[in-house]
Amino acid sequence: MLVLSGIMVMAVSGLIFIGCTKEGPQGPAGANGTNGKDANATCTLCHNFGDTVIVKIFQYDASKHASASTIVEAARSGCSGCHSHEGFLEKLQTGSSVTQAYNDAAPINCRTCHTIHSTYTPADWALRNVEPVHPYIDSTSSIDLTITIPGGTDGTSNLCGKCHQARLNSPWITNPKGTDSLAVTSTRWGPHHGPQFLMLAGKGAFEMGASAFGSSNHRTNATCRNCHMGPAQGEAVGGHTLKMTSTETGDNVAACKPCHSSIGTTFDVNGRQTEIEGLYQTLKVKLAQKKVLDTITGILKGPISASKPKKFTQIQLSVYWNWCMVDADRSMGVHNYVYTRDMLNAGIAYMNSLP
């Protein structure tokens, strides 16, 4: 009986609720969009979920940027400028490499690179910043990898270069050929993990031989976008995946064919990647033999700490830095074959000169 009474009360309450929430009169029409069209038409300029947009989302979700695998570093003020969306926008606004720490950060996403929801037109797909780069290792200098293309210019590499560059270290090398010692307090001393922009530009390495390091013509004839956003194959390579190779497809040589029409199935054009790999391994062994490099960890040979620094000559650190540039670049000469070859050969020559 109590159950039946409860059901009746709920039913009556439901009727009362329905009666009290009768739909009111229709409100005024929404304001027109910024382009003179109604709001719905404005939004659908981009939010049409046509194939073009869906494909880009699908591809980008497969990229390393979207994985947020290094977002934890956003909690550090010295790292957030490249490891988080918020830090990157702050860096563009202030021009400083030191940004706030962001504990609840977003990964690099569409709005990091594009000016989305600024004009509410297709112009929002424009890149945020393609101005020349002032590298961390020498903020007084400027590097501009804008190239001339049919109908205009392409400065997209400069956007990538805001992050894909070496970091400044302490102590810093002031005489790359010097045999005086510097006291290093961290095994993490080095250019860090993303110097690709500098490698493409032919900058950032310490010159120690008799001749200046050369540079290949990728600097003036290619951009990061040309190659990393080449013809896509699903979510494996190309497009907004930004990937150049995968186990499923191999090297995405389709991105190279506009310039290298006779390329085969890999990036090892004329055996140059094989050559660079050999030089890289040779220098790696020589650095390890002199107890400069730990081949297990890939960093400086310890023990090293703030309380127990280790001394290296400036030229030893120069050779190590250059080896790290090649190691972190990961292209084995594709970005800049001549520059990579010259810095490795100079390092090997110096190591061979030692007793």
Residues of the chain with pLDDT under 70: 1-24, 27-39, 49
Residue 5, pLDDT score: 54
Cα separation values, 103 from 72, 85, 238, Å:
8, 12, 32
Measuring CA to CA, which residue among 283, 273, 278 is closest to residue 335? 273
Are 339 and 206 in contact by the 8 Å Cβ rule? The answer is no
The reported pTM is 0.87
Residue 331, pLDDT score: 98
144-163 pLDDT, tens digit per residue, is: 999 999 999 999 999 999 99
φ, ψ for residue 251, nearest 5 deg? -70, 140
Contacts of 137 (CB under 8 A, 6+ apart): 165, 166, 167, 168, 204
Q: Name the token pair of 278.
A: 């050999």
- What are 28-34's contacts with CB under 8 Å, separation 24+? 33/120, 34/119, 34/120, 34/121
Are 279 and 348 in contact by the 8 Å Cβ rule? The answer is yes
User: E strands along the chain, which residues?
Assistant: 147-149, 152-154, 181-184, 245-246, 250-251, 293-294, 299-300, 310-313
Residue 21, pLDDT score: 54
Are 248 and 236 in contact by the 8 Å Cβ rule? The answer is yes
103-143 pLDDT, tens digit per residue, is: 999 999 999 999 988 888 888 889 999 999 999 999 999 99
